[in-house]
Amino acid sequence: MKVALIDHGGDCLSIAYRIKQQGDKVLYLVTSEDPLAKKIGLGIVDKADSINDIIHFSPDVAICYQDVEARAPLKAHSIPYVGPTEKS
């Protein structure tokens, strides 16, 4: 299974790492502009630089935490998405 995690502040690294340990492919994106947040997970899981990397990864599912803006491009490319709605 291919799983993408999109996280604003780096809170989901432990989930990404656990999914990787189970043998699934993981791509992790931290959307915060904070340079320290961008370093979260380096060397632990594969990292994406942008939502376009997630789209090219073509995951079976994308899990989003605290990032509503990621929903639209994922939906436009028919990537299943779990996370906050536009109204939240």
Read off the pLDDT of residues 6-44 as tens digits, 9 standing for 90 and up: 998 889 999 999 999 999 999 999 999 999 988 999 999
pLDDT at 58 over 90: yes
Q: What is the pLDDT of residue 88?
A: 65
Contact residues for 79 (Cβ-Cβ < 8 A; gap 6+): 4, 54, 55, 58, 59, 61, 62
Q: What is the pLDDT of residue 74?
A: 93
Strand, coil or helix: 20: helix
